[in-house]
Amino acid sequence: MPGGAKATTATVIPTQRYADAVVATEWLCRAFGFEQHLVVPGENGTIAHAQLTFGNGMIMLGSARDDEYGRMIKQPSNIGGAETQAPYVIVDDVDAHYARPKAAGATIVLAPKDQSYGGRLYTCRDLEGHLWNFGTYDPWA
């Protein structure tokens, strides 16, 4: 494989930090349909490390903390709601999926819309303001 990537389910796994990772983990599962794969509790009711799966993909997250890595990560609420990256998650039916986060209180940034390159997409913010994209376009197909 190019770059010596390991042959595995997914070789790119987005990571995020949350001010309240315990609540975020539960919300991401309820609102977006992720499933808990592994949750490692941290000190004082935090999450040291969590792995959430969606299909054959995964995200990893943990509680925001003042450590070497954490000082390089800013929460959207600390930088005027801006993001420099946003995961794209492939779903079978954008309109059906859209109903879940909307019902869970997600802020819909871009309503479901057909894209010029194919597929249908919507964008929302989770409970802590992180951007998420969900669409039917499958670049592997």
Let me know whether 49 and 90 are in one domain: no
Task: Look at residue 28 and tell me whether its pLDDT is greater than 80.
Answer: yes
In the DSSP assignment, the letter for residue 118 is: S
Task: Look at residue 3 and tell me whether its pLDDT is greater than 70.
Answer: no
Task: Look at residue 1 and tell me whether its pLDDT is greater than 70.
Answer: no
Structure confidence at residue 118 as a pLDDT band (50, 70, 90): very high
Compute the average pLDDT of residues 58-65: 96
Whether the CB-CB separation of 16 and 59 falls below 8 Å is answered with yes
Per the domain annotation, does 100 fall within a domain?
yes
pLDDT of residue 57: 95
Which of 55, 74, 93 delimits the end of a domain?
A: 74
Per the domain annotation, does 80 fall within a domain?
no
β-strand partners of 110: 123
List the CATH number of the domain containing 121. Answer: 3.30.720.110
Range of the domain at 107: 85-141
Q: Which amino acid is at 64?
A: A
Structure confidence at residue 35 as a pLDDT band (50, 70, 90): very high
Beta carbons within 8 Å of 71's beta carbon, 6+ residues apart: none
pTM: 0.91
Let me know whether 68 and 90 are in one domain: no
65-114 pLDDT, tens per residue? 999 999 999 999 999 999 889 999 999 999 999 999 999 999 999 999 99
Which of 35, 55, 74 delimits the end of a domain?
A: 74
pLDDT of residue 67: 94
How many domains, the chain? Answer: 2
pLDDT of residue 11: 79
Let me know whether 55 and 124 are in one domain: no
